[in-house]
Amino acid sequence: MKILIVGGVAGGATTAARLRRNDENCEIVMFERGKYISYANCGLPYYIGGTIQEREKLFVQTPEAFGKRFNIDIRIMSEVTAIDPEKKEVRVKNLETGNIYQEQFDKLVLSPGAEPLRPNLPGIKSEGIFTLRNVNDTDQIKEFIESRKPKKAVVVGAGFIGLEMAENLHKLGMQVTIVEMAEQVMTPLDYSMASLVHQHLKTKNVEFYLKDGVSRFEKTESKLSIMLMSGRKIESELIILSIGVRPENQLAQNGGLTIGESGGIFVNEHLQTSHPDIYAVGDAIEFTNPITGKRGITYLAGSANKQGRIAADNIIFGNTHLYKGSISTAIAKVFDLTVASAGVSGRTLKKEQIPYISSITHSSSHAGYYPNAIPMTIKIVFSPENGRLFGAQVVGYEGVDKRLDLLATVIKNNGTVYDLTEIEHAYAPPYSSAKDPVNIAGFVAENILKGKVKIATWRNLINYQQNDFILVDVRTHDEFQLGTIEGAINIPLDDIRQRLNEFPKNKKILIFCGVGLRGYLACRILNQLGFEDVYNLSGGYKTYEFAVQKQSNEDIYENNYIGIEDHIYQGHQPIKDTQPKTVTELDACGLQCPGPIMKLKSAFEEATPKQIIRVSATDPAFGKDVQAWCKVTGNKLIEIQLLGGKVIATVQKEITQQNTKQVIPANGKTLIVFSDDLDKALASFVIANGASAMGKKVTMFFTFWGLNIIKKQIKPHVNRNLIAKLFDFMLPSNSTKLTLSKMNMLGMGSKMMRSIMLKKNIDSLENLMLQAKENGIEMIACNMSMEVMGISKEELLDHVSIGGVASYLERAEEANVNLFV
Ligand code: FAD
């Protein structure tokens, strides 16, 4: 039997080797149009970044060694250009000599892979723009980096490969910007899980734009720029396009083979194409998803390898081996995080109208009392009918891979959440807990299915109307003080039985705690005491907080720096005090919120004034908590560092009396900007810039009509209700449309004013606003007014933060001038 194989990497090489192991006598010819076979595509980003140092390590096999070991005729630089299924013949072009010839087959295997998308955008052919698929691309990128030494790189597309590239270019010392059109990175994840990745990227000094696509590229002699759909321009020297791939289906299509609805080569469960003697495997095939029942393509090395083995068995032994489809089990390292998924996401289930329940749990990588336990987050989606596990996503630092593999095994075997409760894992304190995070995910899901608890998601919470329910934070008073969900009242878990009269019987009661466990206990108490409409917030405050924060961080490389608490500031980073100091170390690793704060609090009770304590915690929320705690208690936060999943905060005891709020000398200036008259807006920014120039801390609080001044000129599309549409229609759409409070004369007045200002060389309102941004003037938009007027935060300038009256009052406390304009 003569078997031809098209493609010599993951699927092709595996098929070839298995064929030979199955049959010593068949004739096997493998065609590969590139120079290399059986290389490690998955390692390419790490070779570019220097983690894999030797190029040879990328080659699992050379054509010579592979050909000899398996007695296979390997023809590199040979492209199969046509298939004639009837004559059972292919046409081959030798790319070195140009020679074209035919080759007969008894069986043919197609494993041509998938090619990266390169949309036909203006400027896309410019030098410095690359895609990454194979060794050739890798060599070109590596050569470009070594010869040009780029300082700025942009990665377009934030899928698994895009993020791996971002990390590797960052490792080489480049300023990396990621541009992603979707609202999140890594689409196999649901938004709440992707938000963990977003917040992590922010701590890594990587700039990223979400909900923004590339409209064109511009190349001048020295610069390469990307123009985004929002109108933004990013300058770069190196661009990696990683916006997706498409199956290489042309050869099959031209040969008359059936192509499926998603563009992949159609195969049956024996991996046979529409012609019985032609098989196909890998990234180019389309197959039925075992969960949704819909046909689709899986772009993963594991699937290609497994399919190669099955196809080889079916060719040699008849169609004995069934392929059951892929559940797309995938994992990626994103800086310090590990991100993994299997099965389908909640978003896909929703799209396919498959009923599901989702549940989020936060657990530790191993026993909390053993050093260095680090939290991980697990999201599972499952059937409300029978508990079948549809999908799982895990994000964390350690032990993510083994949890995801357990979950994937259950999904693959059509298992249920009840199976998760019974998994018998290997346990000793350094490796896990007696109840593994996977068991915990199962227990929680079982409780939901058996009606022991009703859950609400963070999305339910933001979509509810405020007066539909009462929101109860059952964490301790100290935790509540450090930050909570707006509108929540605090009834600590241990006080519930004494404060039952504060829970209404005629309203939904929405309970939340840090991660969901105390919330569950609170729900059980209330349920058993006759309260029925009680819900626990899945994933607790932690999930909510990650998901509702600002997800992207634009413009960080424009004269900006990231402050200790991960906020981005304009200007120059303050120089650190380098005087050597005695520092007391405090280990709070393994403790979950509020453990680290509690430990810090008791250490401070013992500490002497001015003593410095460096506390290490593995709870990622500690970064935010410690800032809030320092603010509330008046102690000084010197530094926060993030090292390999640990938050390390250095704090100095500033006061002699505990819990006495530090008295801040009041010399800041605050302005409440209420009006959107052009003259008043001008006056506000002139005063604000003037005060800032004199070294004062200035805060501008924009409320009601004042919000019109800080709207973007190019706004993203937002869905509005009728009232919001009306406001949008009637009000100025941005600062350039403002009118004068007097002598406006149907807009003539404001035009006159702008032209006089120009003649007299006085800065325009827009320039003044830009200066204010550059001067580091804090601009806060009033969230209550935004709600009333139906304005979303995406419509406002990116550097504007959202805050309530409390934010304003806090600034006013520190100010000695408060103006209302
Ligand atoms: P490929 O391995 O791409 O092989 C197809 C080969 O066919 C190519 O070499 C091509 O030149 C050749 N070919 C095509 N047409 C012809 C023709 N007409 N004649 C002759 N030769 C032809 N997957 C994971 O699971 N985990 C990862 O971490 C991971 N990381 C990745 C990182 C990168 C940078 C890339 C590019 C991919 C990564 N993948 C990863 C995906 C994985 O590499 C693919 O799923 C897998 O290689 C698919 O195997 P395949 O045989 O279908 O295609």
pLDDT, position 717: 75
- CB distance 325 to 290 below 8 Å: yes
Q: Is the CB of 41 under 6 A from ligand 1?
A: yes
Q: How far apart are CA 768 and CA 776, in angstroms?
A: 12
Task: Give CA angle at 293 (292, 296), nearest 5°.
Answer: 85
Helix H or strand E encompassing 6: strand 2-6
Task: For residue 794, count other CB atoms closer than 10 A to its CB.
Answer: 12
Average pLDDT of span 485-492? 94
Mutate which of 4, 15, 42 for ligand 1? The one with the most ligand atoms within 8 Å of its CB, which is: 42
Whether residue 177 is predicted with pLDDT greater than 90 in this model: the reply is: yes
| Annotated catalytic residue, options 26, 42, 523, 630 | 42
Instruction: Name the helix (H) or strand (E) containing 199.
Output: helix 191-203
Residue 192 tokens read as: 């709440």
Does the annotation mark 42 as catalytic? yes
Of the chain, the end-to-end C-alpha distance in Å amounts to: 88
* Beta bridge partners of residue 613, listed in sequence order: 584, 651
Instruction: Determine the pLDDT at residue 787.
Output: 79
Contacts of 170 (CB under 8 A, 6+ apart): 176, 204, 205, 206, 335
What tokens appear for 551 in the block?
């997800």
Judge residue 466's burial from the number of C-beta atoms within 10 Å of its C-beta, 0-12 exposed, 13-18 middle, 19 or more buried.
exposed
Give me the mean pLDDT over the 330-345 stretch: 97
* Distance of CA 283 from the midpoint of ligand 1 (Å): 7
Assigned token pair, 295: 């046909």
Report the alpha-carbon distance of residue 144 to residue 746 in Å, rounded. Answer: 57
Task: Answer yes or no: are the C-beta atoms of 361 and 437 closer than 8 Å.
Answer: yes
Closest ligand 1 atom to residue 281 Cα is 52
Find, among 348, 320, 140, the residue nearest to 240 by Cα. Answer: 140
pTM: 0.75
Q: How far is the CA of 299 from the centre of ligand 1 (A)?
A: 8
Q: Which atom of ligand 1 is nearest to 251's Cα?
A: 18
* Region 132-146 average pLDDT: 97
- pLDDT tens across 650-662, in order? 999 886 544 434 4
Task: Please tell me the predicted confidence (pLDDT) of residue 662.
Answer: 41
User: Could you tell me if the CB of 596 is within 6 A of ligand 1?
Assistant: no
pLDDT tens digits for range 571-618? 555 655 555 568 889 998 877 666 788 888 889 888 888 889 999 988
> Using H for helix, E for strand and C for coil, what is the string for 312-347?
HHHHHHCCCCCCCCCCCCEEEEECCEEEEEEECCHH
Is residue 299 lining ligand 1, measured as CB closer than 6 Å? yes
Point out the least confidently predicted range of 35-49, 281-295, 687-701. Answer: 687-701
Q: How far apart are CA 557 and CA 560, in angstroms?
A: 6
Q: Are 301 and 10 in contact (CB under 8 A)?
A: yes
